[in-house]
Amino acid sequence: MTTLLNEQLNYRDNQLQLESCNLSSVAQQVPTPFYGYSKARILQNTARCQAAFAAHNIDIHYAMKANSNLHILRLIGSQGLGVDTVSAGEIQRAIAAGIPAEQIIFSGVGKSAAEIRLALNTGIGQFNVESAEELALLGTLAQAHTQPVKVALRVNPDVAVNTHRHITTGTRGNKFGMPPEQALQLFRDYADHSCLNLCGLAMHIGSQICDAAPYGQAVSRLLALTKTLEAEDIHILCLDLGGGFGIDYGNGRSLSFSEVAAVIADTINTEVPEYDGKVVVEPGRSLIADAGLLVTRVNFVKEAEPRPFLILDAAMNDLMRPALYQAEHPLLPVRHTDDGGFRQLDVVGPVCESTDTFARDYPVPNDVQADDLMAFLCAGAYCSVMSNSYNSRDIAAEVLIDQDTFQVIRRPVSQDDLMAFED
């Protein structure tokens, strides 16, 4: 397993620090479990991503479903990125965080009429439409607007990717997008539409993909369609290639921004060198996952056969990914000792079901005991946003760390908060 310690995450004086902030000091002021994010790491990831894609003139829209905290959105937005949204709620958050409306793309397989109306009233930059049925509804609702609405059709390129089946989206039989032939027909049918300007093609083939080859294959399919349309005098002005770039969760596998950017650019330059429209990508996880931790406290070390349990105060409601995708998030002790060695434990949370298991047969320092702090790594993406209050647990706080200071960017959501909705 790679250690995943880095410039922002390291031990000093045997204490785990995010930037130069001691996590144990944060835990004295913020109840565990809590999510902690490194501001410097988010900015560094964003800058690396921008440099890699800007080299090929590719724009970036942050897929904010990965982490939609307003402070995180403002931080990423302040670097000039647009956003990819999938609900009215995300559009509202993007606007609240100061993202310009024209920098908002609205994706999603099941937009409701109310969501489409909100997006039209907001004046967002582009709709990524996933079906003939959605396009018809958008066409009707857009009649109330004077500005023509920019539309990209999401194509399902039917390429295989090597990731968990629950986060594969670009193969036949997935609910997402439409076959290229159907997109072609819709472009013809809507060529002279008075309110809809069909001018883009979109795709998103899955998430946590660690191999650039499927991007080449999928882009190739979009380009074939672009050429066919061009021959019919229908011009594609935007290719939105989605996100999905994998990060290292400790097994050493990831996809670098520069590698995927080069594959995309090479494919376009080889197959349609005359293409002069925009190219967009929508990374989520790769901008934020490794900037975040979930800090948790040990409730008990329960001696048991065949293996003891490390019972934490974090549960599947705070970190759903292991239960949903059998994901593994490395777990480190906040206080480091090198003398005692390790023993193998099953790492679980307190929720009353067996799926509340983070790892089995996992090496934990021998001297770990109740009340110790531990940290799950790579918890910046798809953790807080997927959290819930199952078992009537509070929803964990979020903290943004900047050098040796921290700011609570979401306070914990308590049972009093939640019960207030049930008056």
Give the residue numbers marked as catalytic.
352
- Read out DSSP for 41-61? HHHHHHHHHHHHHHTTTEEEE
What character string, x for contact with ligand LLP (CB under 6 A) and - otherwise, covers 354-393?
A: ----------------------------x-----------
Check binding of 38 to ligand LLP (CB under 6 A): no
Binding of ligand LLP at residue 282 (CB under 6 A)?
yes
Copy the structure tokens of residue 344: 């193998």
d(CA 99, CA 107): 16
Min separation Cβ 176 and ligand LLP, Å: 8
63 binds ligand LLP (CB under 6 A): yes
**Which residues ranging from 324 to 353 are in contact with ligand LLP (CB under 6 A)?**
325
Residue 286 binds to ligand LLP (criterion: CB under 6 A): yes
Q: Which of 34, 106, 187, 245 binds ligand LLP (CB under 6 A)?
A: 245
The smaller minimum CB distance to ligand LLP, of residues 95 and 241, is found at: 241
φ and ψ at residue 185, rounded to 5 degrees:
-65, -40
Distance, CA of 208 to CA of 282 (rounded, Å): 13
Q: Choose one: 26-34, 139-147, 190-198, 241-249; the region binding ligand LLP (CB under 6 A).
A: 241-249
To which residue do tokens 């900037």 refer?
291
Min dist. Cβ of residue 65 to ligand LLP (A):
6
Asked whether position 134 contacts ligand LLP by CB under 6 A, the answer is no
Residue (157 or 284) nearer to ligand LLP, CB: 284
Measured CA to CA in angstroms, residue 211 lies from 157, 245, 326 at distances of 16, 8, 20
Q: Per rule CB under 6 A, is residue 136 in the interface with ligand LLP?
A: no
Question: Which of 39, 93, 150, 321 is in the footprint of ligand LLP by CB under 6 A?
Answer: 321
Residue among 49, 43, 42 nearest 280 (CA): 49
Alpha carbons 156 and 181: distance in angstroms, whole number = 10
Amino acid, single-letter form, for residue 60: I
| Helices assigned H by DSSP within 206-320 | 213-231, 257-271, 285-288
In the set 16, 18, 23, 66, which binds ligand LLP (CB under 6 A)?
66
Chain centroid to Cα 90, Å, comes to 13
Residue 15 CB coordination number (10 Å): 15
Considering only residues 149 to 178 of the shown chain, the ones binding ligand LLP according to CB under 6 A are 167
Considering the complex, what minimum distance in angstroms separates the CB of residue 296 from ligand LLP? 18
**Residues contacting residue 100 through CB under 8 Å, at least 6 positions apart:** 82
Measured from the CB atom, the residue of 283 and 365 that comes closer to ligand LLP is 283
Amino acid at site 168: T
CA angle 73, 78, 81 (to 5 degrees): 75
Among 77, 125, 157, 242, binds ligand LLP (CB under 6 A): 242
Give the CB-side neighbour count of residue 8, counting CA atoms within 13 A.
Answer: 21
What CA–CA distance (Å, rounded) separates 317 from 295?
A: 14
| Chain residues 181-240 in contact with ligand LLP, contact rule CB under 6 A | 204, 207-208
**Interface size with ligand LLP, residues (CB under 6 A):** 21
Q: Which stretch binds ligand LLP (CB under 6 A): 22-30, 60-68, 308-316, 346-354?
A: 60-68
Nearer to ligand LLP, 70 or 167 (CB): 167
Q: How far apart are CA 207 and CA 43, in angstroms?
A: 21
Q: Give residues in contact with ligand LLP (CB under 6 A).
A: 63, 65-66, 84, 107, 167, 204, 207-208, 242-245, 282-286, 321, 325, 382
